[in-house]
Amino acid sequence: MISLAVRQRRREISVRIALGAAPRDVLGLVLSRALRLAAAGALAGPCAAFFGTRAMRTLLFQVAPGDPVSVGAGAAVVVAIALLAAWLPARRATKIDPITALRQE
Amino acid sequence: MPTIQSRGAAGATAEFREGHTVIKTRNLEKSFSTRAGQTWVLRRIDMEIQAGEFVSIMGPSGAGKSTLLSILGLLDQSWAGEYELFGTPVHSLKPKDRIELNKKLIGFVFQQYHLLDNLTVQENLDIPLSYRNMKGSERAAAVADTLDRFQIVGKKDLFPNQLSGGQQQLVGVARALIAKPKLLLADEPTGNLHSDQGREIMRLFKQLNDAGTTIIQVTHSEENAKHGNRIVRLRDGWIVEA
Supply the pLDDT for residue B87.
93
B129: left (phi over 0), alpha (psi -120 to 50) or beta: alpha
The DSSP call for residue B40 is E
Q: What is the pLDDT of residues B40-90, one digit of tens each?
A: 999 999 999 999 999 999 999 989 999 999 999 998 888 999 999 999 999
User: What is the Cα gyration radius of chain B?
Assistant: 18
Residue contact B131–A20, C-beta within 8 A: yes
Closest residue on chain B to A26 (Cα): B131
ipTM of the complex in this document: 0.82
| Core vs surface per residue B2-32: b (16+ CB within 10 A) or e | eebeeeebbbbeeebeeebebbbbeebbbbe
Nearest CB partner across the interface for B70, out of A15, A21, A99 = A99
Q: What is the pLDDT of residues A37-96, one digit of tens each?
A: 888 877 887 777 777 777 777 777 777 767 778 778 888 888 888 888 888 888 988 888
Q: Whole-angstrom Cα distance, residue B236 to residue B99?
A: 28
Sort strands B21-34 and B183-187 into parallel, antiparallel or unpaired.
unpaired
Supply the pLDDT for residue B19.
59
Supply the pLDDT for residue B163.
96
Q: Considering the entire predicted model, what is its pTM?
A: 0.82
Which chain A residues in 7-36 lie under 8 Å from chain B, judged by CB atoms? 11-12, 14-22, 25
Which chain A residues in 45-104 lie under 8 Å from chain B, judged by CB atoms? 97-99, 102-103
Residue contact B114–A25, C-beta within 8 A: no
Say which amino acid occupies B138.
Answer: E
* Kind and range of the H or E run holding A44: helix A23-56
Burial class from Cβ neighbours inside 10 Å (0-12, 13-18, 19+) for residue B93 reads: middle
What are the chain B neighbours of A12 within 8 Å (beta carbons)? 116
Taking each helix axis as running N to C, give the angle between helix B165-177 and helix B195-210, from 0 to 180 degrees, rounded to the nearest 10. 20
Supply the pLDDT for residue B18.
53
Supply the pLDDT for residue A46.
76
Confidence of residue A33 (pLDDT cuts 50, 70, 90): confident
Q: Taking 60 as the threshold, does the pLDDT of residue A2 lie above it?
A: yes
The DSSP call for residue B177 is H
Residue contact B131–A19, C-beta within 8 A: yes
Q: Which residue has the higher pLDDT, A3 or B51?
A: B51
Supply the pLDDT for residue B12.
43
**By the CB < 8 Å criterion, does B146 face chain A?**
no
**By the CB < 8 Å criterion, does B94 face chain A?**
no
Q: What is the pLDDT of residues B202-215, one digit of tens each?
A: 998 999 999 889 99
Which chain B residues in 57-76 lie under 8 Å from chain A, judged by CB atoms? 66, 70, 75-76
The pairs formed by B36-40 with CB atoms below 8 angstroms and a separation of 24 or more are B40/B236, B40/B237
Per-residue pLDDT of chain B (242 residues; tens, 9 = 90+): 666 655 544 444 444 445 589 999 999 999 988 888 889 999 999 999 999 999 999 999 989 999 999 999 998 888 999 999 999 999 999 988 999 999 999 999 998 899 999 999 999 999 999 999 899 999 999 999 999 988 999 999 999 999 999 899 999 999 999 998 999 999 999 988 888 888 888 998 999 999 889 999 999 999 999 999 999 999 999 999 88
Distances (CA, A) of B13 to B73, B109, B126: 20, 21, 23
Q: Whole-angstrom Cα distance, residue B193 to residue B200?
A: 10
Q: Whole-angstrom Cα distance, residue A49 to residue A55?
A: 10
